[in-house]
Amino acid sequence: MDAVFFARLQFSVTASVHFLFVSLTLGLVLFLAVAQTAWTVTGKSVYERAVKFWGRLYVVNYGLGLITGIVMEFQFGLNWSGLTTRFGDLFGPALALETLVAFVLEVTLLGMWIFGWGTLGKKTHLTLIWLVALTAYASVLWVLVANAFLQNPVGFEMRGGRAHLTDFGLLLSNPHLWDPVAHVVSAAITLGAVFVAGISAYHFIKRTTETELFGKSLRLALAVLPVGAFSTVHFGMMQIVVIEETQPLKLALLAGDLPRAAAIRERLSAQLGPADYMAPDWLASLFQAMQGVGFALVLVSTAGLVLLIKGWVIRLRLPLYLLVAAIPVPFAMVVVGWLIREVGRQPWTVYGQLLTSKAVSDMPPLTVATSFTAFTTLLVTLALLDWWLLARYARRGPEDNTFGTPLPTPAPAPTSL
C-alpha cells in the first residue's frame, strides 16, 4: 500500500464523516427557522418549546461538526500538495469564501442566536436563525463551486505550471454546479425531515405527554418530506445528462455498460497516454442502491402524507416504528452519493488535467498511514459522541431551560396531530 492509497482513504473517511454532520445541520436549521417563525407570528409557547428542543439537537451536531470541518481543512495542505500547488490559486478562493462564511459569519450569527434568548427582540432573534440558515446554504454553494471545478475544470489557463483564473463567471455557470447544489439541498431537507419525523414518532411510541409539540413536528416533517424526496430524485437524474457530456466513462460504469466503458478507456489511453482510467466497478452497485432507496423514499413520503389524514400515522402505530427505523437511511445515502460523485471521477483529481497519483504529497506511506489513523480515530470518536448526545437529548424530550428563561410546564394535550 502506497501513500496514494492512504491519502485517498483518509480523505474519503474525513469527507464522509464531515458530510454526515453537515447534512443534518442543513436539514435541521430549516425546521428551526420555520418553527421559530410560527412562534413569532402566533405567540404560542408550543412553538417556542419546539424551537428549544430541536435547537439543542442542532447546536450539539453543529458544534461537533465544526471540529470535523477543521480536520477537513488540513487535508489539502497535508496530503494534497500536488493539487494545491497546481490548482490552489483557482479553487482555493472558493474554499476560502466557504471558510469565511461557515467559520466566521455563520458561527457568529449562531452564537448571537444562542445567547440572544430573552435579550433580543423576537423579530431580531427570528432574523438571526434565518441568517444562520442562509449562511449555511451559502457555505455549501462555495464548497460545490470548488468541487464542480474538480469535476469539470473551466475558466482557467495554465501559466508556469499553475492554473490562473480567467473567468469567474464560468466557475458559477459550470454545468456540474447548480443541479448538484439543488440535489444536496434536497437531500438535506429529506434527511432533516426523516430525522424530525423519526424522533417525533419515537416519542409517540413511548406515549409522550408532549403530544402537541411532537404532533406539530411530525406533521411538518411529513409534509416537507415528499418535497425533499421528489426533488432529490429529480435533481439526481438531471445530473446524468451532464455526466454523459463531460464524463462518459463514469456514466458507462454507473450504467454497468462495461463494453462501452472499455471502449472509452481505450480512446482516453490513445488521447492522453496509457493509464487505467476506469473507476472501481462497485460504483454501479452503489448507484443502483441509491436509485432504489431514492424512489422508495418517494413512495414512503407519499404514503406518510396520506396517513396524516385524521392522524392515521399515529393511530396505526406501525408507521411510527417504520419512521424510527428509517432515521439512518438518508444518512447512509448521502455518503453513497458523495462516493459516487468523487470516486466516480478517478483516477483524476482534476478531471482531465491532474491525475490523483500526481496530486498527492510526496511523503512516505508510513507518514500518511499515521495521519490516517490519527484523524480517523478523532473523527470516529466525534461521530460516536455526536450520536450518543443526540440520542440522549432526543430521548429526554423538551426541557424549557435549554435556552433563555424556563417556561411554565404545559398541561398534557390530547393525542392528535
pLDDT in tens, 302-341: 999 999 888 888 888 899 999 999 999 999 999 999 999 9
Instruction: Provide the mean pLDDT of the chain.
Output: 88
Output the pLDDT for position 93: 79
Q: Which residues neighbour 192 within 8 Å (Cβ) at sequence distance 6 or greater?
A: 24, 26, 27, 28, 30, 31, 221, 224, 228
* Residue 408 in this model has a pLDDT that exceeds 80: no
Output the pLDDT for position 415: 53
Q: How many domains does the chain have?
A: 1
Is 261 inside any structural domain? no
Is 351 inside any structural domain? no
Query: What confidence tier does 406 reach under pLDDT thresholds 50, 70, 90?
Result: low
Is 263 inside any structural domain? no
Residue 230 CA to residue 181 CA, distance in Å, equals 15
Output the pLDDT for position 410: 55
Evaluate the CA torsion angle 316, 320, 326, 330 in order and state its sign.
Answer: positive
| Range from 72-81, 137-146, 320-329, 355-364 carrying the lowest mean pLDDT | 72-81
- pLDDT per residue as tens digits for the range 188-232: 999 999 999 999 999 999 987 788 999 999 999 999 999 999 999
Is 204 inside any structural domain? yes
Could you tell me the end-to-end alpha-carbon distance of the chain, in angstroms, rounded to an integer? 56
Q: Name the pTM for this structure.
A: 0.91
Domain boundaries, position 59: 3-77+88-242+283-337+366-396
| Listed residue (104, 124, 111) closest to 36, CA to CA | 124
> What is the DSSP-derived secondary structure letter of residue 257?
-
Is 413 inside any structural domain? no
Is 92 inside any structural domain? yes
* Residue 416 in this model has a pLDDT that exceeds 70: no
Is 120 inside any structural domain? yes
Which segments of 247-317 does DSSP mark as H helices, in order? 248-254, 258-272, 283-307, 312-315
Is 361 inside any structural domain? no
| Listed residue (151, 279, 293) closest to 236, CA to CA | 293
| Range from 13-17, 28-32, 77-81, 137-141 carrying the lowest mean pLDDT | 77-81
| Range from 103-112, 181-190, 194-203 carrying the lowest mean pLDDT | 103-112
Output the pLDDT for position 357: 87
Q: Do residues 304 and 227 lie in contact, with contact meaning Cβ atoms separated by under 8 Å?
A: no
Output the pLDDT for position 100: 77
Q: What is the mean pLDDT of residues 67-90?
A: 82
Q: Which residues neighbour 195 within 8 Å (Cβ) at sequence distance 6 or greater?
A: 24, 27, 28, 327, 330
For residue 294 the three cell numbers come to: 431514492
